[in-house]
Amino acid sequence: MNNDDFRQWSQRAADWGADYRNNLRERPVRPLIEPGDIFRSIEASPPEDAESMDRIFADFQEKIVPGMTHWQHPRFFAYFPANAAPVSVVAEYLVSAMAAQCMLWQTSPAATELEMRTIDWMRQALGLPEGFSGVIQDSASSATLNAVLTMRERALDWQGNKKGLAGQGRLRVYSSDQVHTSIDRAIWVSGIGEDNLVRIPVAGRFRAMDAAALDAAIVADRVAGMLPAGIIASVGGTSTGGTDDIAAVAAVAGRHGLYLHVDAAWAGSAMICPEYRHFWAGAELADSIVFNPHKWLGAQFDCSMQFIRQPEDLVRTLAIKPEFLKTHGRDGIINYSEWSVPLGRRFRALKLWFLLRAHGLENLRTMIRNHVAWSEGLAARLAGEVDFEIVTEPMLSLFSFRHKAASGADADEHNLRLVNAINDDGRIYLTQTKVDGKVAIRFQVGQFDATAGDVDAAFTAITEIARATA
C-alpha cells in the first residue's frame, strides 16, 4: 500500500465508520449467528499472493460486521459500557497513524507530558486532592495487579521481587465478594494465592464491607502468624453496584498500616458530578484508585486511569532500568513504563484530551445525570408492574430485576430463558447475575448516545417478551 492508497483507504474507512455509527439503531445489538459461523466463512489457509483491498474490505463488511456485537449501539444495556465517543475515535486514528511507542519520556516526550496533564485534569474533575499523581493503564485489571504487587512488596519490606515468596510470611488481602473478578486474577498472578483473599461479609442496600468484621479478620490473621498486606474496596461493583464505605475501610487500613486500593472502574466516572461523590467519601485516603474513562466517560478503549498517592512505591515495585532504557542527562522525568507491567505503551492520553476539550465537563455531567435519571425511571416503571420485582435498587445507573415465574415454575430457569429471549430478539442487550444465590437480570444505562427513547424501548421489549414467554 503506497501513500496514495493509504490516503484513499483511510478516507473510506472513516466514511464507513461514520455511516456505521449513523445506522446502528437499524441493527440488532447482538448478532443472530451460531458459534462457528464466522470461523467457517473464513478461508482455512493464509493467502500466498496479495489480495486487493477491495476484496479485503468487502469481506470485512460481509463476513465480520454481521458477526459483531455492537457495543456502541444506543440500546446496549448489558455489562458496563465500553464507550467510544466519536471525537476519541478521531484521536485514535491519529495515534494509529503515528504508531509511537510511549514507554519513556525520550521515546515520545509529548505523550508523556500530555499524560501527566490529563491525569491532573481528571484529578481536579473528580474532586480528588492535590498530591495524587497517576498513570493511564490499559484496563482496571492491570491497575489492580499493580496495586496488589505494590501491597505485596510493601508487606514484604520490598524483598518479594528479589527473594520470591517461598519462606516469607503468608500474605493476606481483604475484600468483599462484590469486587470484580480482576481482583481474583491479581491475587493469582501476584503469587499470593486465592486462599489468601479473605472475603469480608457485606450488609445494607449497597452490600458494603462490614468494617468491624474487616478489623477483626486482620487482627485474627496477625495472631495466627499471617501477614496482612492490603485491602481492596469497591465503588460500583460489577454485579449489582456493590459499594463500600470507603472512609470506614480507610480507617481500618490506617490503624493496621495496610495499603488500600479502591476499584471504581465503572462508577468513578460519575464522580465528575459533585452530588455523587458521597459514594466514595474517603477515597482521598486511599493509596491508589482506579477508574475507566473508557467505560462511562466516552474515551475509546483502552484508557484506565490509576491515581497513586505514593508513586515511588509503585516505581520501586515495577521499575527495571537496563542501560538501553536510561535517559542520560535528564533528572526528574517520568518514564511511564516504570509504572506498569508492560514495557511498551500506547499513546492513550490523546483521546482523553480530545474528549475533554470537545465535550467539556458540563456536557459529560449532563450525560451521566441523564443516564442515572433514566435508569431510576425504568426501575420505578418495572416496580409498578405486577409481574416484575426490583431485586437491587439503582446504584447510579445500575439495577437488577426479576420477572415472576408462573406458579410452580423454576424462577431461575424462567429468568434465564427471559434474558436469552430478550437478547435473541435483538432490540436491546441485557445480562444476568446472581443475587443471594438467585438469578436476576441486570440493567444499566451508560451508552454515550443513548436517549430517553431508547430506555422507553427497553421497557417495551422487556415487558412484551416477558409476557410472551411466561
Q: What is the mean pLDDT of the chain?
A: 91
Q: Which of 283, 313, 346 is the last residue of a domain?
A: 346
Q: What is the tens place of the pLDDT at every residue in 199-235? A: 999 888 888 899 999 999 999 999 999 999 999 999 9
Residue 435: inside a domain: yes
Looking at the structure, do residues 118 and 49 belong to the same domain, yes or no?
no
Residue 231: inside a domain: yes
In the prediction, which pLDDT does 101 show? 85
Looking at the structure, do residues 263 and 155 belong to the same domain, yes or no?
yes
Looking at the structure, do residues 428 and 331 belong to the same domain, yes or no?
no
CATH number at residue 330: 3.40.640.10
Residue type, 116: M
Looking at the structure, do residues 458 and 312 belong to the same domain, yes or no?
no
Residue 84: inside a domain: no
CB distance 115 to 192 below 8 Å = no
Looking at the structure, do residues 169 and 202 belong to the same domain, yes or no?
yes
Q: What is the tens place of the pLDDT at every residue in 244-272? A: 999 999 999 999 999 999 999 999 999 99
Q: Which of 315, 346, 377 is the last residue of a domain?
A: 346
Looking at the structure, do residues 371 and 341 belong to the same domain, yes or no?
no
Q: Which three cell numbers stand for residue 168?
A: 516469607
Reduce the secondary structure of the chain to three states and give it as a string.
CCHHHHHHHHHHHHHHHHHHHHCHHHCCCCCCCCCCHHHHHCCCCCCCCCCCHHHHHHHHHHHHHHHCCCCCCCCECCCCCCCCCHHHHHHHHHHHHHCCCCCCCCCCHHHHHHHHHHHHHHHHHCCCCCCCEEEEECCHHHHHHHHHHHHHHHHCCCCHHHHCCCCCCCEEEEECCCCCHHHHHHHHHCCCCHHHEEECCEECCCCEECHHHHHHHHHHHHHCCCEEEEEEEEECCCCCCCECCHHHHHHHHHHHCCEEEEECCCHHHHHHCHHHHHHHCCHHHCCEEEECHHHHHCCCCCCEEEEECCHHHHHHHHCCCCHHHCCCCCCCCCCHHHHCCCCCCCCCHHHHHHHHHHHHHHHHHHHHHHHHHHHHHHHHHHHCCCCEEEEEEEECCEEEEEECCCCCCCHHHHHHHHHHHHHHHCCCECEEEEECCEEEEEEECCCCCCCHHHHHHHHHHHHHHHHHHC
pLDDT at residue 324 tops 60: no
In the prediction, which pLDDT does 331 show? 54
In the chain, the number of structural domains is: 3
CATH number at residue 29: 1.20.1340.10
Looking at the structure, do residues 129 and 224 belong to the same domain, yes or no?
yes
pLDDT tier, 284 (very low <50, low <70, confident <90, very high otherwise): very high
Residue 88: inside a domain: no
Residue 296: inside a domain: yes
Looking at the structure, do residues 163 and 228 belong to the same domain, yes or no?
yes
pLDDT at residue 469 tops 90: no
Nearest to 446 by CA among 82, 85, 81, 75: 81
CB distance 126 to 118 below 8 Å = no
Residue 187: inside a domain: yes
Looking at the structure, do residues 53 and 137 belong to the same domain, yes or no?
no
Looking at the structure, do residues 291 and 386 belong to the same domain, yes or no?
no
Looking at the structure, do residues 339 and 382 belong to the same domain, yes or no?
no
Q: What is the tens place of the pLDDT at every residue in 11-61? A: 999 999 999 999 999 899 998 888 899 989 999 898 989 999 999 999 999
Looking at the structure, do residues 193 and 220 belong to the same domain, yes or no?
yes
Domain range enclosing 463 = 361-469
Residue 112: inside a domain: yes
Residue 297: inside a domain: yes
